Structure 1
Amino acid sequence: MPLMVWWGSYLTLKIGLKFSYIVSMIPVLVCWLPLSWQTIRRVSFIIENEGMERLDGYGSPMAFFIGILIEQFFYVPITITLVFGLLALKRINQLKAVT
């Protein structure tokens, strides 16, 4: 299913449909939202507990760190893709306004 969504996005860009760029950014946004929410939750946990372990000592800081590392492995590239996509969309709109 995800592969079909990515290929569909590619084909809309290749054909040059009117809203193809916005449609191609939707899968990126769908992947980005849960990862950003989890990142916010993890950062707030660290701030509240002053570390990667609960105050009662229950939990593993190493498991917490590995979880953050794996999530950021996906979150950072998706965020970069989203930012560059939005910048490209802004540029496309500026070029349309000029012509």
Structure 2
Amino acid sequence: MSTQIDDPAVAAFINAVNSGDRDAFFAALTPDATMSDDGSERDLVAWVDKEIFTANGRLDVDSVSSDGRSLTATYTNATWGSMRTSWTFHVSDGKVSRFETGQA
């Protein structure tokens, strides 16, 4: 595994998180995107606002799968501090249609 993000949709997602750009984040998603956190379905808008955008979330990628759609990262935000996390992305028509995250 490497740390190179080759999937453009996943790269756009990560760049939006790390720049704190909410508009770019939602532009990287399909309109009907869904997500889960630690195996539980979450309200995407409420979760990203709480866990990413109001808490200064940041993803530091540690490793990426060969297909570019699964990764491990150190996720840091003002609420929880830093933790090792796993992320899996489903992409449709060049945008993230679903992501699943949780502690690694």
What TM-score do you get using the length of structure 2 for normalisation?
Answer: 0.26
Q: Which has the higher contact order (CA 8 A, sep 6+)?
A: 2
| Larger of the two Rg values belongs to structure | 1
Going by fraction, where is helix more abundant, 1 or 2?
1
What TM-score do you get using the length of structure 1 for normalisation?
Answer: 0.27
